[in-house]
Structure 1
């Protein structure tokens, strides 16, 4: 039986820079940083309030074939990769704090039927959505 989601891959262009962004800018905790085999590096971080869910910061490469790795690298370089959603208690305040740290935002905080949302980029071009959730119903979207 599946009990939870424990690992999500976030592709990056540079594992050191990605780890520093998630740890130093976003406040995640470093978890694993080991080299396995021929230069394959396993780097993970997690949020302090959700340690059971780790983000694997992985450069495009094996086990992907060369064409797939190149495609992901090109998507990262042009900012075309999806990302993750991050819950926040105050989206506008978090936006101000992260903007002051130099984070690039694609969308300032905006009211949505499900809460307040802002969209930012990590240092590899992945987009991350900050959401201050609120109760909603299907009618909220009408």
Structure 2
């Protein structure tokens, strides 16, 4: 049997700019870079990719119906709040401030293209 990886793809207008944004938030460098497709290795079998050129002129005003969830291992309220404050100080667009969603403290942000990013504790 071949190994399988899950790649979450985020559509963006400018892949290098989006990669800088995500690299700064995640504190990591890309694992693969092409002019329009850039990936980050998040761990065994999981990657995050930003891809431009598939949709012209994505607008942050268009509602997004999916989101990337960054599940924080050991993510108690103090850690989630610290990430929230760090992102807010960087000027990241916050869509929902930290709140209890039944599975723990979580907040919702957006990247420059309007794609949603949720930060939550790992199940």
TM-score by length of 1: 0.70
Sort the Cα spacing of 1:33 and 1:80 in 2 relative to 1 into closer, same or farther, 3 A: same
Report the counterpart of residue 107 of structure 2 in structure 1.
118
**After the TM superposition, which parts of structure 1 deviate over 4 Å for at least 4 consecutive aligned residues?**
1-4
Q: In the alignment, is residue 80 of structure 1 matched against residue 73 of structure 2?
A: no
1:34-92 residue CA offsets vs partner (Å, 9 max, x unmatched) = 25xxxxx3311233xx153222211142xxxxxxx35xx44x43142222111122211
Sort the Cα spacing of 1:93 and 1:31 in 2 relative to 1 into closer, same or farther, 3 A: same
- Which protein has greater RCO, CA pairs closer than 8 Å, 6+ apart? 2
Q: Which runs of 5+ in 1 are unaligned?
A: 36-40, 62-68, 135-142
SS at match of 1:44: strand
Query: What are the within-5 Å matches in structure 2 for residues 22-33 of structure 1?
Result: 22-33=22-33
Sort the Cα spacing of 1:133 and 1:31 in 2 relative to 1 into closer, same or farther, 3 A: closer
Report the counterpart of residue 38 of structure 1 in structure 2.
none
SS at match of 2:96: strand
CA RMSD of aligned residues (A): 2.2
TM-score by length of 2: 0.80
Q: Return the offset for 1:122.
A: 1.1
1:100-138 residue CA offsets vs partner (Å, 9 max, x unmatched) = 11111111100121111100001221011111256xxxx
